[in-house]
Chain A
């Protein structure tokens, strides 16, 4: 399960922006939305004849495998970094 999402944006002539998002507290804060999304996904699975358990299991596996993902893009003097730990 991801613990921390880090976003860093560097732009020329501006102060760099660094944002650290603790995932678990954020999920707790957004839990009503998360519940709605899960229910919506379950309904979509039923509509398209896909196993709900299997779909939720796959979704959980994907979320659990996210830590370690890192995307770093630099162009000219602009740079964006997104890292999941």
Chain B
């Protein structure tokens, strides 16, 4: 419920306005609101099915657009690959990461952790704006 609608209902509850006035105000409020945009916030509540990456950019005076839609199920299946990485490869990767100043232990990264991350992706929205383009990552 948005703030203005809540205010109207509060005024009705306090007896400051009548039910008819409240109805008229809410109707006016709905008319004043812009139509729902195709944005992550406008998405109906429910389980997200896709991760979408939308990027618009300007390069050498030419405009470009990247629109990628990936099923979240594919990400969930992909994280299972983490369990298939041989321990030797993980140790080598750990050594390289340490050498680069990133002391991250990949052996501690379990598929369950990645699955939990994917599960909560539908609430995440990443927006990046620059003068020559913008990037938006969200679930739908």
Give the size of the chain A interface in residues (CB under 8 angstroms): 23
| Consensus secondary structure, chain A interface | mixed
Q: Cβ of B77 and Cβ of A68 under 8 Å apart?
A: no
Whether A49 contacts B63 by the Cβ 8 Å rule is: no
User: How many chain-B residues does the 8 Å CB contact rule pick out?
Assistant: 25
Q: B69, A68: Cβ atoms under 8 Å?
A: yes
Q: Is the CB of A65 within 8 A of B76?
A: yes
Residue of B nearest to A60 (CB): B77
Closest to B66 in A: A73
Q: A79: nearest residue on chain B (CB-CB)?
A: B65
Tell whether B39 is near chain A: CB-to-CB under 8 Å: no
Contact check, A71 vs B49: say whether CB atoms are below 8 A apart: no
- Find out whether the CB atom of A76 lies under 8 angstroms from the CB atom of B64: yes
Stretch in contact with the other chain, from B4-12, B16-24, B79-87, B124-132: B79-87
Between B50, B66, B77, the greatest number of chain A beta carbons within 10 A of the residue's beta carbon is seen for B77
When the two chains form the complex, which single residue of B68, B70, B74, B77 contacts A72, counting CB atoms closer than 8 Å? Answer: B68
A18 contacts B by Cβ under 8 Å: no
Judged by a CB distance under 8 angstroms, whether B3 is at the interface is no
B74 near A69 (CB under 8 angstroms)? yes
A73 to chain B, nearest CB (A): 5
A-B contact pairs, 29 of them (CB 8 A): A45-B84, A49-B86, A50-B84, A50-B86, A54-B84, A55-B84, A61-B77, A62-B77, A65-B71, A65-B76, A65-B77, A68-B74, A69-B71, A69-B74, A70-B67, A70-B69, A71-B67, A71-B69, A72-B65, A72-B66, A72-B68, A73-B67, A74-B64, A74-B65, A75-B59, A75-B64, A75-B65, A76-B62, A76-B63
- Chain B positions within 8 Å of A, measured between CB atoms, are 49-50, 59, 62-71, 73-74, 76-78, 80-81, 83-84, 86, 88-89
